[in-house]
Amino acid sequence: MDEGCVLVGTDFSPGSAAALEEARRLAELLGCGVRVVHVVESGSSQTWRPSSAARGWLDEAAMDEDALDVRFGSAWAELARYADRCRPALLVVGSHGSSGYQPLSVGTTAERLTLHARHSVLLVGPRHSAIRRTAEAVAGRA
């Protein structure tokens, strides 16, 4: 595992794109690597193949599908468990993910992570970035 890395949770949303961009910037400053994790909600089979939207997100992020760690279960719980194992310097997530626009609160996964994770969590709000614009275009929100 990449102890001391910057860990990013992604749901392939524009918020996750902003989180990845910020994680890369911070990792460069800290002199460490970035590890990206996607959690497939329980109830799904234990196999995962990227959708065309996820593939577009990965391409825009210049990430190979094999570099992505995929876990199965509840997003916040799996991200917290993963962080406990790899002991990152920082856990970075978008403040709003695939659940959509929530103007007065952070997303459920982000909120639960900030309450339950044993590691520092950075919430990144939506902002303009090349990855985010592509994610919005793929999602039909451009």
Smallest CA-to-CA distance from 82 within 97, 69, 95 is with 69
Write down the pLDDT at residue 131. 55
| pTM attached to this predicted model | 0.79
Helix, coil or strand: residue 34: strand
**pLDDT tens column, 92-120:** 998 865 444 444 444 678 888 878 788 88
Q: Considering only 52-66, 70-84, 88-102, 121-135, which range has the smallest mean pLDDT?
A: 121-135
Q: Which residues have a Cβ under 8 Å from the Cβ of 74 and sit 6 or more positions away?
A: 39, 41, 42
- Average pLDDT on 1-24 reads 88
